[in-house]
Amino acid sequence: MDDALKELDSIHRKITAKNKSFQQIESKLAHNNQQKIISKRIPYYMTSVATLLIFSCLVLWKWDDGIGRADNYPVLSSTIMEAIIATNHSYDSFQPIEYMYKKDYAISSNNEWLELLHSLITNAERVEEQPIGKNMYDCLLLLENNENIKLKIWIEDNDLYFMEWNKKIVYKANNAESEQIMAGIQRIIEKE
């Protein structure tokens, strides 16, 4: 029986099948190698993408927060219809609200001047330092869409600064426009 069993040791295999198998092995190994290289790089790519995403989120967050960009004042949502202006030396109050119907405030409805004011506000840039002015004006802007904006405006070293009342973000106006605006404010106040 041993001889008969040994007969089963060799099973005929065609040389073409043997060669074809070897080619397929080569191909599969090469493919596996490529996948291995790719899978090794995946953590690197994922880390890079995650870093980029986190960085983008931080930038966007800072952008929304108003920090770390060119920082123009947010574009006004509508045309300025009127500007109610009053002198004020305090940060803690806002005169046009309190004295709306008293005599020491002034109203401007001069379209040309209001457009210039709109442009000044829109083009103003945020500043990190917050210079305090002695002569401060409160300015209530009534917009066409019935919204209103409360600004505190002051001059420091010939530069015009403003901020929204009760907000700590200070903006510096463009010099060319600020001179005309300040002249207009003076005229409005003096006229009253």
Q: Which stretch binds another protein (CB under 8 A): 1-9, 84-92, 101-109, 165-173?
A: 1-9
For 60-83, give one letter per residue: b (16+ CB within 10 A) or e.
Answer: eeeeeeeeeeebebeebeeebeeb
State which residue, 19 or 111, has the beta carbon closest to another protein.
Answer: 19
Q: Which 8-state DSSP code applies to residue 12?
A: -
Binding status of residue 40 toward another protein by CB under 8 A: no
Binding status of residue 166 toward another protein by CB under 8 A: no
CA distance 65 to 58: 10
Q: How many helices (H) and strands (E) does the chain have?
A: 5, 7
Binding status of residue 37 toward another protein by CB under 8 A: no
Could you tell me the smallest distance in angstroms from the CB atom of residue 67 to another protein? 53
Q: Which stretch binds another protein (CB under 8 A): 18-26, 70-78, 109-117, 166-174?
A: 18-26
Among 16, 21, 46, 59, binds another protein (CB under 8 A): 21
Q: Provide the β-strand partners of residue 149.
A: 141
Q: 29: how many CB neighbours lie within 10 A of its CB? A: 10
Q: 65: number of CA atoms within 13 Å, CB side? A: 8
Among 18, 40, 134, 191, binds another protein (CB under 8 A): 18
State which residue, 37 or 75, has the beta carbon closest to another protein.
Answer: 37
Locus of tokens 């219809």:
81
Q: Which stretch binds another protein (CB under 8 A): 7-15, 64-72, 150-158, 172-180?
A: 7-15
Which helix (DSSP H) or strand (DSSP E) does residue 33 occupy?
helix 15-65
Binding status of residue 4 toward another protein by CB under 8 A: yes
Binding site for another protein (CB under 8 A): 1-13, 17-18, 21-22, 24-26, 28-30, 32-33
